[in-house]
């Protein structure tokens, strides 16, 4: 049975959180002399809303999730770190990951002194069946499923995610940083029926706001309450909150860009498949493509020498490079350069 108290680290359970000035105040104030701010208006002389109400309402409207089931972090990397701090006991809990996957889960686990258990993806980067890993995922802690997965672009079905969550005693974190590029359904649909689920999304990818640092965690109210309790009081700055609301309320351009990137992903995949020296191009539901090359290290170096930077993933997956889908012009230049290298 799911019990938030038994999953929360003891020192966090017992913590009296810092209470910020703006948090205790709601209503119409005319004179603010509580937070030692400079009284002269600079547009930014006041501390930001610690709970980002307007931003959460905009996300809640768009994603069909209650605002009190949302946590906003300084990028989703902050949410990942806070999940470790709140729900993992060093030396006791474990972090389960399915490599090859996003590197921050292991880095964050190590920073927090949590043992990492690696359960490799199977052929074609599929998740192992629950039955085959049941005995290995017995500790509490965090189990990360990245879908679409970075760097493979693979998406995992909701039935499998649900089964995994029901078979695990800790929290299952589904990282959907790239979900807006995918045609598959978001795990947000599982939130109501899955108390130990956390869904991460970000405004860094499809929303075009990597520079703002806005990451989203959606979960039960109880889980969100714990994250709010331990976050730095003003973790999301005023400018980021305002710009985030503006972009969310006018999402036409973003939707057009997503469509364009999806079309380009298809074109780029075909072009790569027709390029000498490319052995295999994996299908992708994200804004990048993983491809296997005859001579990956050489191709990576040659592209780099011509000012084209892609991601070398050869240490994770033999002979593989990861290429972000760019504008039509950027993709064309990449393909022309690749063809010249492999001529
Ligand atoms: C799978 C995945 N999750 C999270 C992030 C980080 O997102 P943010 O910019 O919100 O910290 C990335 C960034 O590359 C990513 O690939």
pLDDT of residue 23: 73
pLDDT of residue 259: 98
Tokens standing for 70? Answer: 């949302």
Give the confidence band of 72 by pLDDT, cuts at 50, 70, 90. Answer: very high
Is the pLDDT assigned to residue 223 strictly greater than 80? yes
**Residue 80, Cβ neighbours under 10 Å: how many?**
26
> Which atom of ligand 1 is the closest one to the Cα of 178?
1
- pTM of the entire structure? 0.97
| Percent of the chain topping pLDDT 90 | 94
pLDDT of residue 134: 95
Cβ 149 under 6 angstroms from ligand 1: no
**Residue 313, Cβ neighbours under 10 Å: how many?**
21
Find out whether the peptide bond into 300 is cis, omega within 30 degrees of 0.
no
Q: In whole angstroms, give the CA distance from residue 280 to residue 269.
A: 10
Cβ 210 under 6 angstroms from ligand 1: yes
Instruction: Report the helix count and the strand count for the chain, using DSSP H and E.
Output: 13, 11
Is the pLDDT assigned to residue 65 strictly greater than 80? yes
Sheet arrangement for strand 115-118? 70-73, 215-218, 197-202, 171-175, 141-146, 94-97, 115-118
pLDDT of residue 224: 98
Does residue 116 sit in helix, strand or coil?
A: strand
The mean pLDDT value for 67-94 works out to: 97
CA 243 to chain centre: 19
Cβ 150 under 6 angstroms from ligand 1: yes
pLDDT of residue 148: 98
Is the pLDDT assigned to residue 24 strictly greater than 80? no
pLDDT of residue 26: 72
Average pLDDT over the chain reads: 96
Give the confidence band of 120 by pLDDT, cuts at 50, 70, 90. Answer: very high
Cβ 102 under 6 angstroms from ligand 1: yes
Q: Which of 20-29, 289-298, 334-343 has the lowest mean pLDDT?
A: 20-29
Ligand 1 centroid distance, CA of 202 (Å): 7
Does residue 66 sit in helix, strand or coil?
A: coil
Q: In whole angstroms, give the CA distance from residue 50 to residue 20.
A: 8
Q: Which residues contact 74 (CB under 8 A, 6 or more apart)?
A: 213, 214, 215, 235, 236
Is the pLDDT assigned to residue 182 strictly greater than 80? yes
Cβ 207 under 6 angstroms from ligand 1: no
The mean pLDDT value for 123-141 works out to: 96
The mean pLDDT value for 242-263 works out to: 97
Is the pLDDT assigned to residue 88 strictly greater than 80? yes
Q: In whole angstroms, give the CA distance from residue 18 to residue 9.
A: 18
Ligand 1 centroid distance, CA of 76 (Å): 6
The mean pLDDT value for 61-74 works out to: 97
Give the confidence band of 1 by pLDDT, cuts at 50, 70, 90. Answer: confident
Cβ 73 under 6 angstroms from ligand 1: no
Nearest to 102 by CA among 135, 146, 58: 146
Architecture of domain 4-22+48-249: 3-Layer(aba) Sandwich (3.40)
The mean pLDDT value for 218-228 works out to: 97
Q: Which residues contact 61 (CB under 8 A, 6 or more apart)?
A: none
Does residue 29 sit in helix, strand or coil?
A: coil
pLDDT of residue 289: 98
Ligand 1 centroid distance, CA of 200 (Å): 9
> Which atom of ligand 1 is the closest one to the Cα of 101?
1
pLDDT tens digits, one per residue of 161-180: 999 999 999 999 999 999 99
The mean pLDDT value for 262-286 works out to: 98
The mean pLDDT value for 110-118 works out to: 97
Q: In whole angstroms, give the CA distance from residue 9 to residue 104.
A: 21
Nearest to 292 by CA among 274, 277, 271: 277
Cβ 196 under 6 angstroms from ligand 1: no
Cβ 223 under 6 angstroms from ligand 1: no
Identify the residue whose tokens are 């036409």: 252
**Residue 247, Cβ neighbours under 10 Å: how many?**
18
- Report domain extents, the chain: 4-22+48-249, 253-341
Tokens standing for 94? Answer: 């474990």
> Which atom of ligand 1 is the closest one to the Cα of 149?
1
**Residue 181, Cβ neighbours under 10 Å: how many?**
21
Cβ 175 under 6 angstroms from ligand 1: yes
Is the pLDDT assigned to residue 149 strictly greater than 80? yes
- Please tell us whether the domain made up of 253-341 is placed in CATH 3.20.20.450: no
> Which atom of ligand 1 is the closest one to the Cα of 102?
1
Ligand 1 centroid distance, CA of 77 (Å): 7
Is the pLDDT assigned to residue 343 strictly greater than 80? no
pLDDT of residue 19: 84
């Amino acid at each position: 049975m799911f019990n938030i108290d038994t999953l929360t680290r003891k020192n966090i359970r017992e913590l009296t959180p810092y209470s910020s000035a703006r948090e205790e105040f709601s209503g119409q104030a005319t004179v603010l002399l509580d937070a030692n701010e400079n009284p002269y208006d600079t547009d930014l002389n006041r501390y930001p809303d610690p709970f980002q109400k307007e931003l959460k309402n905009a996300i809640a409207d768009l994603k069909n999730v209650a605002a009190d089931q949302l946590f906003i972090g300084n990028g989703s990397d902050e949410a990942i770190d806070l999940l470790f701090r709140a729900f993992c006991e060093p030396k006791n809990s474990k972090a389960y990951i399915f490599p090859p996957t996003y590197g921050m889960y292991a880095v964050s686990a190590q920073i927090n002194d949590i043992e990492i258990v690696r359960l490799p993806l199977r052929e074609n980067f599929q998740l192992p069946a629950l039955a085959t890993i049941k005995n290995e995922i017995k500790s509490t802690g965090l189990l990360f499923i990245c879908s679409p997965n970075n760097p493979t672009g693979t998406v995992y079905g909701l039935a499998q995610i649900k089964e995994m969550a029901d078979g695990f005693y800790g929290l299952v974190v589904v990282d959907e940083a790239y979900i807006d590029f995918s045609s598959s359904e978001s795990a947000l649909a599982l939130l109501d029926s899955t108390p130990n689920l956390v869904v991460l999304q970000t405004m860094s990818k499809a929303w075009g706001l990597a520079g703002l640092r806005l990451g989203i965690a959606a979960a039960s109210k109880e889980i969100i309450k714990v994250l709010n309790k331990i976050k730095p009081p003003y973790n999301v700055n005023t400018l980021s909150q305002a710009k985030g609301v503006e972009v969310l309320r006018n999402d036409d351009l973003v939707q057009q860009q997503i469509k364009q990137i999806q079309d380009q992903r298809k074109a780029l995949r075909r072009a790569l498949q027709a390029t000498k020296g490319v052995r295999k191009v994996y299908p992708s539901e994200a804004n990048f493509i993983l491809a296997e090359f005859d001579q990956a290290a050489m191709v990576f170096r040659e592209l780099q020498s011509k000012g084209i930077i892609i991601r070398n993933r050869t240490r994770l997956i033999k002979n593989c490079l990861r290429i972000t889908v760019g504008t039509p012009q950027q993709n064309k230049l990449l393909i022309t350069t690749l063809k010249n290298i492999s001529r």
